[in-house]
Structure 1
Amino acid sequence: MKKSIDQKLQSGYPLELGKIIEESFERYKQTFVLSGIATIIIAVIMILIYVGYFGILYGFGDFSKTMADLEMGKSNVTMIIINASVGVLIGSLSAPIVAGFINVNHLAKNNKEFGLGSFFDFYKTTFFKDIFLNQLLISVFLNATVAILTINNSPFLALSLQIIVALFTIFCIPLIIYGQQNYMDALVKSIGLFLKNPFVILIAFIVGALGILVGLIGLCIGIFFTIPFYFSVIYTIYEQAIGFNDKSVIDEIGLE
């Protein structure tokens, strides 16, 4: 598999946008119910974490005063740095969940059973270290740069940077869990693989984002069930660009 990835880096790979969209939707149809429930559970957990974080930071008393403090904190350099640091920690620790969402598509593709526990499987595998360190590097760079841009009142540049980083690192987690790459190789090779076919990946990325926005219809509740479509797109891009061995490492070790 490592040799195959290196060959793709040298010679490139074909991608068909229509096929990406079609296959992504097929995987999404197989997984969206359970993925949507998992998204809701994770969202509730994240809300509780952030409520606790902001409660410790600003107090659990007067809600209107807390909101006013939050608004003031947006322009406070110290608060921007603290929020960026928390963002790094949460982003790094939640990366295995992203791996779980991606891998659920792999399980569905191969007609294997999956449940709610499947979204958290990568916390208990040998992949955890590389997933965590990979996302830690990305999060440190991204949050530090976004914090600097925010301090300098450049929100548009901050948003643009987040999109660019998401595109350049789109292969990272699949390269770790399917391509047997370590955290640094996955980062470097993800950038190289993206640059081999940037326009198709960009359009597929936009399609994935638009798919998520469909969930905003109907009191926004549906977004919990459309967010997983983005992970189906990531999985399908990797599947078509790199592919898999007849028996992947994940199939060999199992995810109990």
Structure 2
Amino acid sequence: MNSKINSKIDLKIQNGYTLETGSLIDESVNTFKKTFLMSGVAMILLIIVTLIIYGTVFALIYGFSDLTSTMTEFQASQSTAIGLISTLLIATVTSAFSAPITAGFIHVNHLAKNNQEVGINVFFDFYKSKFFKDIFLSYLIIGLTSGLLSSGLTLINLEFLTYFTQFFVAIITVFTLPLIIYGEQNYENAITKSVKLFFKQPVLIFVALLLAVIGVLIGIIGFCIGIIFTIPFYYSMIYAIYNQAIGFEEKSLIDEIGQEEF
């Protein structure tokens, strides 16, 4: 862990930081415009990878029997504790294995901002980086936390609160991946420091991410196909928030990614 970067993050947690909604929108839009085509292609690949992982985990839990009977069994189990646990495990493992690609979606904004080359390989580079373990474990913990809370609400017939809970967990951990890949934090520190950083500017972060979600939903206008190319805007906003809140040294170690980092 780089002590200089770590000290800078701790200082932000102690003293706070400033965010400006207008500049967040400007920065996220500018980087998004440079990356949306490549990110759209990567999003299609992410969907394919996620379906493969989800399908594999699903089959391992429920077996490789007839698809119709398996789906019937799966739907029938959703009202039981065992069914909810199975669904939680499938979703969490899928999310954890897909997390390195999510990190790639954030990182392409850093490359674009610094006028560096962006290729489709960038979205998969974190699978072979030294950050993979912490990325995987962080999303495993976040996924389990969100899933357990949602499952508990479902069991006590408060299912309408599950979406709020999932969104809340997502926004308080919004700094997690950037803290790992840029701040060189381990998964435990990344999660705990993300929560602390979020509560320094909760309203502005909520508003910024809400605007990003609205921007993503604009893709529905394009007969839903366009949403594949607008989803990456959410990650552009996450990068902009981290950049404005924490920032980078003039010569950040992450600029070496793709070289000795992997």
Alpha-carbon distance in structure 1 between the residues aligned to 2:258 and 2:47 = 27
Counting only pairs closer than 5 Å after superposition, residues 54-203 of structure 1 correspond to structure 2 as: 54=58, 57=62, 59-62=65-68, 68-203=72-207
> Does structure 1 retain, via aligned residues, the 8 Å contact 2:54–2:91?
no
User: CA 1:252–1:67 in structure 2 vs 1: closer, same or farther (change >3 Å)?
Assistant: closer
User: CA 1:15–1:104 in structure 2 vs 1: closer, same or farther (change >3 Å)?
Assistant: same
2:26 alignment partner AA: E
Alpha-carbon distance in structure 1 between the residues aligned to 2:231 and 2:14 = 33
Q: Which runs of 5+ in 2 are unaligned?
A: none
Runs of 4+ in 1 over 4 A off after TM superposition: 51-56, 65-70
Question: Over aligned residue pairs, what C-alpha RMSD do you find?
Answer: 1.8
Alpha-carbon distance in structure 1 between the residues aligned to 2:70 and 2:194 = 41
Structure 2 equivalent of residue 38 of structure 1: 42
Alpha-carbon distance in structure 2 between the residues aligned to 1:178 and 1:51 = 32
Is 2:19 aligned against 1:15?
Answer: yes
- Which deviates more from structure 2 when the two are superposed, residues 172-181 or residues 86-95? 86-95
Alpha-carbon distance in structure 1 between the residues aligned to 2:10 and 2:164 = 29
Alpha-carbon distance in structure 1 between the residues aligned to 2:66 and 2:45 = 23
Give per-residue Cα distances to partners, 1:92-117, cap 9 Å, x unaligned. Answer: 11111111100000010111112111
Is 2:25 aligned against 1:25?
Answer: no
Q: Percent identity?
A: 47
Counterpart among 210, 213, 224 of residue 214 in structure 2: 210
Structure 2 equivalent of residue 224 of structure 1: 228
> Does structure 1 retain, via aligned residues, the 8 Å contact 2:150–2:162?
yes
User: CA 1:80–1:178 in structure 2 vs 1: closer, same or farther (change >3 Å)?
Assistant: same
User: CA 1:13–1:93 in structure 2 vs 1: closer, same or farther (change >3 Å)?
Assistant: same
Deviation at 1:197, TM superposition (A): 0.5
2:155 alignment partner AA: I
TM-score, structure 1 normalization: 0.92
User: CA 1:80–1:5 in structure 2 vs 1: closer, same or farther (change >3 Å)?
Assistant: same
TM-score, structure 2 normalization: 0.90
1:134 alignment partner AA: S
Q: State the secondary structure of the residue aligned to 2:231.
A: helix
Q: Report how many aligned residue pairs link the two structures.
A: 254
1:2 alignment partner AA: N
2:47 alignment partner AA: A
Alpha-carbon distance in structure 1 between the residues aligned to 2:211 and 2:150 = 25
